[in-house]
Structure formats: structure tokens, C-alpha cells
Amino acid sequence: MDGARVLIAAGATAVCCLACAFWVFHSSSSSSSSSPASSKKHQSPPANCCGCASCGCRDAKSANGDMAVGGENKKKASEPAPPETPSMMEQLVPEITTHALSYLDYTSLCRLSMTNSAMRRAANDDGAWKALYHKDFTVEQGTINPPNGWKAYYAATKAIINLNAEFYNIIREGALPAMSRFWLNADYVKCIHATGEFCTGYNAVMESWGLLFNWGQDGGQGIAFQIRDVRVRVLGEVAWVNMKANVDVDPVLFHVTNVYELWNGRWYMVHHHSSLMADPAPHNMFG
């Protein structure tokens, strides 16, 4: 009886083992048969893919992430940038542009030349600088032809005007050291004061200015000149200035001529001439 039970238990165990082995074998067969389909599903579409939804290649991605259409990877062609529209100033004829620029001052015209290439050409136009020169300075030199152009001539004229103003600032301050640096140290420099005193040579000229400044200090007042009708002419390394001047509020006018010479890139005074303006002829009441 006990042996029969042992045989039954062994048989049941064998049947369970066979069932488990069959189940394992069947599971592996199913997985191997389904893997080709799944790998085929993830393969890239064929070269002759039509791109339709039925074949499933519409959603395929190429290696660089672009859409595959008709079996070829196509990138969108970059659209050309639209042409730049010229500004209203650039569309004007040169004559009108020059006339418009003539209303700008020196600083504004220089700033305009740094905006773009078109404005640089317009702002560097010789006609615009000639018009600006006549507006700011004088029309007396309308017939000259500056060798370096009107822009360079304007800059040189402005530099001489600033230098001439510095000369009268030195007189107002009575600064002899500054005056000694202002003049060229040469034996041919000349100075003719309004008193009629004539000095030639650097040492004599500096001595005369020293006496003038000491006289002003002793009097307790500075010597302040008011200048007007300033006219400048620059010719190479020489420039001269003609003007009218008066002391403080004194209505008596003087004719003044100052001459400057360029040495080693710096302008120096070489001649000063001041003379009392003659009174106009008295009017004859009786004809």
C-alpha cells in the first residue's frame, strides 16, 4: 500500500515537470516569433517609400531629425532676407541732401557721418561743408578751393578761432607764463600794441606784455577785450585773423590782426597788430 502511494506521487511529480517544461517552451517560441515583427516595425522606411499614411513611413525620422518624404531627407531652403529699404534721406537727390545737411551744426554733422555708410558719404560731401563754413564763418572765401577739402578747412578754421579766443583769455587773466608759451620763440615775431609801441623779437615782445600785465594789475582791473567780426584765413602752415575789439564796455574800437604759424603740429602766434579805429568823417550839416 505504501509503495503504491510512492509511485502515484512520483508520477504526479513527473507530469507537473512535463507541464512546466511544455509551458516554458511555448512561451519562448511565441516571443521569438513576435520579435521580427517588432524589429521590422522600428526599421527605417524603404528607399521607395511613398510617404503615405498606409505604409507608416510618414512619421519616420531621419538620422538628423528631419522629416523623410518620398524616401529623401529634405531641408527647408533658407528664405533670402528681404532687401533693405533705403531711408528717406538716401532717396533724396544730392542737391537736396546737401541743402538739408547745411542746417546742421559742426558737431551734428560729425555725428551723422558715424551712423552708416550712406550717411557718411552724405555728411562728408564737400558741398555740405562749404555751406556750413559760409554759415558759421564768412562767405568771403567762396571762390577758394581748399587743397584738402572744405571739411579739413572748416576744422582748421575752427581751431584757429579757438586759439585766438585763448589769446584774449590770457590777456584777461594777465598770465605772462601762458603768454610766453603762446608765442613762437623766434627773432622775427612782431607785436604792435594799440599805444603804437613796436616790438620785434621774442624777448622784446614778452617784455612788453609783462609791462602791460603789471599795469593792469596796478590799476586793480583785468584787461578784458570783447571781439567781433572775426575773419580767419588759413593757408598751409600760416593763418591770420582780422577782427574788431574793444576793452570791456568802452565803445572805442580797435582793428586787430593776429598771425599764427604752424610748428611741429602746433600753432603759435608770430604777429599781433592792434590799432585804434579812425572816427568816421563828421557829417557836414550844411552840405
| % pLDDT > 90, the chain | 33
Query: pLDDT-based confidence at 155, cuts 50/70/90?
Result: very high
* Per-residue confidence (pLDDT) for residue 2, from 0 to 100: 53
Using an 8 Å Cβ cutoff, are 71 and 62 in contact? no
Q: Model confidence over 91-104: pLDDT tens digits?
A: 666 667 777 777 78
At position 159, the amino acid (one-letter code) is: A
| For residue 27, pLDDT beyond 70 | no
Query: pLDDT-based confidence at 117, cuts 50/70/90?
Result: confident
3-state secondary structure labels for all residues of the chain: CHHHHHHHHHHHHHHHHHHHHHHHHHHHHHHHHHHHHHHHHCCCCCCCCCCCCCCCCCCCECCCCCEEECCEECCCCCCCCCCCCCCHHHHCCHHHHHHHHCCCCHHHHHHHCCCCHHHHHHHCCHHHHHHHHHHHCCCCCCCCCCCCHHHHHHHHHHHHHHHHHHHHHHHHHCCHHHHHHHECCCCCCEEECCCCCEEECHHHHHHHHHHHHHHHHHCCCCCCEEEEEEEEEEECCEEEEEEEEEECCCCCCEEEEEEEEEECCEEEEEEEEEEECCCCCCCCCCC
Using an 8 Å Cβ cutoff, are 113 and 137 in contact? no
Which of the two residues, 249 and 209, has the higher pLDDT score? 209
pTM of the model: 0.61
Q: Model confidence over 54-83: pLDDT tens digits?
A: 555 544 444 444 444 444 455 555 667 666
